[in-house]
Amino acid sequence: MLIGCHVSPAGGVYNAVARGTERGARAIQIFNQSPRMWRPTVYKEADVARFRADMGASAVDALLIHAVYLLNAGSDDPEIRAKTLTSLTASLAAGDALGAHAVVLHPGSAKTGDVGEAIARAGALIREALAETEHCALHLENTAGAGGTLGRSFDELAALIEAAGGDERLGLCLDSCHLYASGHDIRTAEGLAATLDECDAKVGIGRLGSLHLNDSEVGLGSNRDRHADIGKGELGEDGCAVFLSEPRFEGLPVVLETPGPDRKGTPAEELALCAVLRERGLAARA
């Protein structure tokens, strides 16, 4: 398991490697453009070369690129759809250039419209973005389930993959907070196993390619996306230990998106805690 965290690429994308290294991360996640702006970042060849060299010389083994939250692949607004396609295609192209493990995408929202129609629109847009890029995988992230968000169940995630053509580059990123908020009690090994059995039956466990580990500020089935620091929320240290020691997660990048004690993101101490919790979980399973 490659435990790491979301970091900033400010000042040059290669700086993300240093920021991950100083936290002891084995995996890092970045936004490839400002999360508040639609304009995609196009990396200079020199920056890409330096990033790849720095990654190769570091203990960081995996990069995830998180598509920004402005995107809505399920929108029926032509302008939003055009901007979403441009941004998603740029994210996948950046993934190709940087050698990313995957781009992670929140599939979007139906707002107050028909969910089935929104899934069809999202699938068509995703299919187009994949056709315009080469290698980088695209992992659809499960959502907490608020409003008309897409991907709040394994049925919806399966429908999105089908609508996008079932491309082999399509996978899943499972977020622990979102699973819990959408009604999956993953605090015990048995509960997490049952959730993954459902994932396997409806989507296929082979599609699972990355993970987000976040504790949850709010309760089971709340449908609210509120991340808490590891061990400080509803999952608690025991629930996080279960997640970190799940056998079917072995070898995958697991990225923390926690606020941190000073609201500046995941610190090194939190990644160190995860290493301890993983060992605790493995010992409990032995």
| Residues of each annotated binding site | 66, 106, 141, 175, 178, 212, 225, 227, 257
| Interatomic CA distance for residues 227 and 232, integer angstroms | 10
CA distances from 14 to 9, 20, 165, 213 (A): 7, 10, 34, 24
Specify the length of the chain in residues: 286
Report which of 144, 141, 198 is spatially closest to residue 173, judged by C-alpha positions.
141
List binding-site positions for Zn(2+): 66, 106, 141, 175, 178, 212, 225, 227, 257
Q: Are 124 and 84 in contact (CB under 8 A)?
A: no
Structure-block tokens of residue 262: 């000073």
CB atoms under 10 Å from CB of 286, counted, come to: 6
Interior/surface letters 119-128, b for 16+ CB within 10 angstroms, e for the rest:
bbbbbbbbbe
Q: Which segments of 6-109 does DSSP mark as H helices, in order?
A: 15-22, 45-56, 78-98
